[in-house]
Structure 1
Amino acid sequence: MRFAVVDDMEEVLKTIHNLIIQYTNDYEINVDCYASAGAFLDNYSTRNYDALFLDIDMPDISGFKIAEILHEHGYNIPIVYITGRDDLITNAFRYKPIGFVRKQHLETELEFTIDTIKSELNMATVYISVKEPRTFGGKDYSLNVDEILYFKTAKHYLEIKLINNKAITIRDKISNYSDNPKLKNFVMIDSGILINLAHIKVVDNAVELSNGERMLISRRRVQFVLQAYIKYSKKVLI
């Protein structure tokens, strides 16, 4: 998951960032913080945010104005309004926010709101749960399938590469994932590599990934991979 936080108060920005990390420790999470509305507006279009935590009362551009700009550009993102003023809440329903958090009640109200966001995202987003061996940290992960680049066997282990280039190592067999219905947009390019079709382009007998990596397709799988890629591309365009 990727969240954006916009607030002109550095202390509040830091607190919200830390609380989000605390309340989402069972997820792979990225939090981008912006100390001004302008900084967010300069960058949001190149990010794929799952939710926006937005201060209403800012000196340069109000949170309401930011919501209006996003709506006009077709950027439909769940918004959580952050405010220290109760009187502003009644004006905030125009763009259907997912929640409100008052600055004087950050800890309690933010936890509830994040639980709501996770529930909403889980309805639309597919996740798989994996666990690292102790030798690799022993951490539990709930991974958004759309954010996985590939699975790759490494002796008795399986490496999971994410779109942010993070690699997670687990002890498992790739066959447990190649037949997983949650991974219907993945294809085996050889006996040890399972690729996400959403993040590749096929070039001759190889695939180029969105992070710049290039991997060869085994000779006997070239036609199968190409057909799977064409089928996926048509589905996306419909």
Structure 2
Amino acid sequence: MISQVWRLNKLDKAVSFAVCDDDEIICEAICNRIDKLLAKFGLSASIDKYVSPVALYKNIEGGQRKYDALFLDIDMPKLNGIDLAKAIKKAEEAPDIIFVSNREEMVFDTFSVRPFGFVRKNNFTNDLIDTLRSYVNTRMNKNAYIGIKTNNNSVVRKLKVSDIVYIESFRYKQYIYMADNEEIECRMSMEEFEKKLANYDIVRMYKGYLVNLKYVQKIERTGVLVNYKGGVNINVSRDKVQELKAIYLNYLRKMGTVLFNGES
């Protein structure tokens, strides 16, 4: 095991990762790429490299090491990545699992451990960028807040991003609908909101709506059903629906949701 630390200081607590691949060269390459991407995000992290899945399991099971996320190969001797993840997931505070593998045909087999992501080695850079960005947004920034101005810009409110269900634009005003059913009126433009929320899973559904994918119940042919006060339907053009379905399915996969045929 070799430990590396990136000395960036945007978070109060350094994030701890482990990478396990029985090929030492590949393991080193994965660590180096994570290093560069995290630097772009401005984050602080420590990372441990393992070429033995058994050694990683013993360190976690014995309490010597604790990690926020593990990047695991699937094909490894003595203990493959899926079995390793199953063993580790038995712990009360189990780390997130991200598989890094050429075995794309095994992606559905990994759903049993509800991985956070699946990085294909043959599309390594793009998949890793998407996965790390999602990890930052959904795990590290789960308590993120944004500031807004209300009452003719005279009052500043702090809102928890994960509690925003959707934002509606109507007659030069924006209305924010929160998970606790509070409705907030403000005069910020949708463009301002879109810019503030660009790094989160809140997307433009239509010209007058921004919706948090966390609260989407389903996407139908003519619109989106949002989980707010028993359900709110937002009409969307048919051309936009197909784009939104792709975005939503990608979000579900990143969150480790098990998908079945016909699920949208």
TM score, norm. by length of structure 2: 0.45
CA drift of 1:126 comes to 7.2
Cα deviation, 1:84-115, whole Å, max 9, x if unaligned, reads: 11111111101111100111121111111111
Aligned positions of 1:129-208 closer than 5 A = none
Cα deviation, 1:163-191, whole Å, max 9, x if unaligned, reads: xxxxxxxxxxxxxxxxxxxxxxxxxxxxx
2:57 partner amino acid:
L
Q: Unaligned stretches of 5+ in structure 2?
A: 1-14, 146-264
Q: Secondary structure at the match of 1:82?
A: strand
Aligned twin of 2:53: 37
Aligned twin of 2:241: none
1:21 partner amino acid:
D
Q: Secondary structure at the match of 1:80?
A: strand
1:3 aligns with 2:17: yes
2:119 partner amino acid:
V
1:112 aligns with 2:130: yes
State how far apart, in whole Å, the 2-side matches of 1:86 and 1:14 are.
Answer: 22
Aligned twin of 1:67: 85
Q: Unaligned stretches of 5+ in structure 1?
A: 128-238
CA RMSD, 1 decimal: 1.8
Q: Secondary structure at the match of 1:31?
A: strand
Q: Alpha carbons of 1:104 and 1:17: their partners in 2 closer, same or farther (altered >3 Å)? A: same
1:18 aligns with 2:32: yes
State how far apart, in whole Å, the 2-side matches of 1:24 and 1:115 are.
Answer: 9
2:85 partner amino acid:
A
Extract structure 1 runs of 4+ deviating beyond 3 A. 123-127
State how far apart, in whole Å, the 1-side matches of 2:66 and 2:89 are.
Answer: 15
TM score, norm. by length of structure 1: 0.50
2:51 partner amino acid:
A
State how far apart, in whole Å, the 1-side matches of 2:87 and 2:67 are.
Answer: 15
CA drift of 1:124 comes to 4.0
CA drift of 1:46 comes to 2.3
Task: State the number of aligned residues.
Answer: 127
Q: Secondary structure at the match of 1:100?
A: strand
State how far apart, in whole Å, the 1-side matches of 2:79 and 2:18 are.
Answer: 16
State how far apart, in whole Å, the 2-side matches of 1:54 and 1:22 are.
Answer: 19
The alignment-based identity, stated in percent, is: 31
State how far apart, in whole Å, the 1-side matches of 2:22 and 2:93 are.
Answer: 22
State how far apart, in whole Å, the 1-side matches of 2:59 and 2:88 are.
Answer: 12
